[in-house]
Homo-oligomer: A and B are copies of this chain.
Amino acid sequence: MKIGELAARTGVTPRLIRYYEQQDLLEADRAPNGYRTYTEAHVERVSRVAGLVQAGIPTRLVKVLLDTEDAAARDEPTCPREVAEQLATELVGVQARIDCLTRSRDSIRNFLTATQHEVLLREEREPATAV
C-alpha cells in the first residue's frame, strides 16, 4: 500500500510517517516510481511509534524500544551488558511515566464516579458510542 492508505489506516498524517522514517523509526520499500510502499506490518509499526511518541517518549528512545522488540522477535541475543543497562535505566523511566499516568487515570475515574457520571466510563471500552 502507499503512504496515503497507510495514513488513513493509522490516523497518522503522511507528513509524520515521512518524519518517522527520517528519524529511522521506520523503513519503507520503494516502488519503481519512487513511491514508498508498505505492508500490513507497517500499520502496526506506525501505530506503535505514534503511540509512544504521543506518550512522551522522544523519537530517539522509541527507536531503542522498538529495536529491542525487533531483536527479541528475531531471537537475537545481541545484548552486551552495556546496552542491557541502558535499557534497564529506560525501564525505570517508563515505569515512572506509567505510574504517573495511572494515578491520573484513577483520579479521573474516581471523580467521575463520585459525581454520578459513571455512565461515561463505559466509553472507555466501547470506543464508538455515537460520537
Which A residues fall within an 8 A CB radius of B?
48, 51-57, 65, 68-69, 71-72, 77, 79, 81, 84-85, 87-88, 90-92, 94-105, 107-112, 114-115, 117, 120-121, 123-124, 127
Report whether A104 and B52 are in contact in the complex, using a CB–CB cutoff of 8 Å.
yes
Query: Roughly how many angstroms separate A84 CA and B72 CA in the complex, as a whole number?
Result: 42
Report whether B51 and A54 are in contact in the complex, using a CB–CB cutoff of 8 Å.
no
Query: Roughly how many angstroms separate A77 CA and B116 CA in the complex, as a whole number?
Result: 9
**B-side contacts of A95, CB under 8 Å:** 105, 124
Report whether A101 and B98 are in contact in the complex, using a CB–CB cutoff of 8 Å.
yes
Report whether A111 and B72 are in contact in the complex, using a CB–CB cutoff of 8 Å.
yes
Q: Could you name 27 residue pairs across A and B whose Cβ atoms are closer than 8 Å?
A: A48-B100, A51-B97, A54-B96, A54-B97, A54-B100, A55-B97, A55-B100, A57-B104, A65-B108, A68-B111, A69-B104, A72-B107, A72-B110, A77-B114, A84-B117, A85-B120, A88-B121, A88-B124, A91-B105, A92-B123, A92-B124, A92-B127, A94-B104, A95-B105, A95-B124, A97-B101, A98-B105
